[in-house]
Amino acid sequence: MITVQRAGPLTTVQDLGRIGYAHLGVPRSGALDLPAMRWANAMVGNPIGAAVLETTLLGCALRFEVAARVAVAGAEAVVRVDKQPVPTTTVIEVAAGAVLDVGRATRGVRSYVAVGGGVGVEPVLGSRSTDTLSGLGPPRLANGMTLDLAWSSPSEAAGSDKFSGLSTGAAGPGGGELVLGVRLGPRDDWFVSGELFASAYTISPVSNRVGCRLAGSALTRTRAGELPPEGIVLGAVQVPADGQPLIFLADHPTTGGYPVIGVVADVTPLAQARPGTTVRFRAID
């Protein structure tokens, strides 16, 4: 029902992820900006966890073989239907044969394209999400690929969840500084006390869905030696040998051998933070 005309550099299918399989070595994956995904789904009458498309910076272009209701949330971008700009604050009605083009992000990084009925790729371990680290789930989008819908009509999904109270899905600040709350531990005693909060970092351009790499003052180890592999959770701040913090995101591994100094309480702002954005940490209980 949908043909991919322009896939973009990293467009994937995402939903709420593979929750509950970390003990088997399977990451959660799922949309990096969950509020944006939920808002887009609610706009078109889908369950808020229905599969959507997550684009990265340069968007994508899709040809619809049947009429569809579409919503786009997350990063700010110019959206066109058959080359005509359309608003993104309401549902977009796409006629059969029309091309929806989500352009380059002007603010933020990732846009979420929800289609009434949901993207109908085959689920793996209960999720339709693409895991870029392990390769589970559908492949990233490629030019010429075709996609089906999960339901025969959008009305089958309508009413499954309530729209009220959901975030509008707008991208966060386009620049400036992010302040991330972090709970220290379990290995904060391996580093100089308070050093994590003493200076600012910038987001490295080599960041991806696996992790957000930071550049700045290296953290000072107070213990030598290595750790056996330990469990890693979403938001874990791992410190490799170079002392530069790495914040694990949705496609993170389930174990790691470097010390974890703390865990970020909410990684959602990092979904829309561009390379060069300033990041500071603050301690929370």
Q: What is the pLDDT of residues 195-211, one digit of tens each?
A: 999 999 999 999 999 99
Give, as one character, the DSSP assignment of residue 133: T
Environment class of 109 (CB within 10 Å of its CB; exposed 0-12, middle 13-18, buried 19+) = buried
> Is residue 55 a contact partner of residue 14, using CB atoms and an 8 Å limit?
no
Q: What is the pLDDT of residue 176?
A: 75
What does the alpha-carbon distance between residue 52 and residue 31 come to, in Å, rounded to a whole number?
A: 9
Question: Under CATH, which architecture does the 177-283 domain have?
Answer: Beta Barrel (2.40)
For 130-148, the pLDDT digits (tens) are: 999 999 999 999 999 999 9
For 37-62, the pLDDT digits (tens) are: 999 999 999 999 999 999 999 999 99
End-to-end CA gap in the chain: 49
- Statement: residue 271 has pLDDT above 60: yes
pLDDT tier, 167 (very low <50, low <70, confident <90, very high otherwise): low
β-pairing, 278-283 vs 201-203, is antiparallel
What phi, psi does 211 have (nearest 5°)?
Answer: -165, 155
pLDDT tier, 225 (very low <50, low <70, confident <90, very high otherwise): confident
pLDDT tier, 184 (very low <50, low <70, confident <90, very high otherwise): very high
Which regions of the chain carry the CATH code 2.40.100.10?
A: 177-283
> Is residue 206 a contact partner of residue 214, using CB atoms and an 8 Å limit?
no
Helix (H, G, I), strand (E, B) or coil at 12: strand
> Is residue 202 a contact partner of residue 268, using CB atoms and an 8 Å limit?
no
Give, as one character, the DSSP assignment of residue 191: B
> Is residue 5 a contact partner of residue 143, using CB atoms and an 8 Å limit?
yes
Give whole-number Cα distances, 83 to 3, 95, 119, 123, in Å. 17, 13, 23, 33
Task: Give the count of beta carbons closer than 10 Å to the beta carbon of residue 255.
Answer: 12
Strand partners, 84: 81
Q: Under 8 Å CB-to-CB from 253, ≥6 apart: which residues?
A: 27, 133, 210, 232
Residue 77, CA atoms < 13 Å, CB-side half-sphere? 28
What does the alpha-carbon distance between residue 76 and residue 198 come to, in Å, rounded to a whole number?
A: 32
Q: What is the pLDDT of residue 170?
A: 64
Q: What is the pLDDT of residue 285?
A: 84
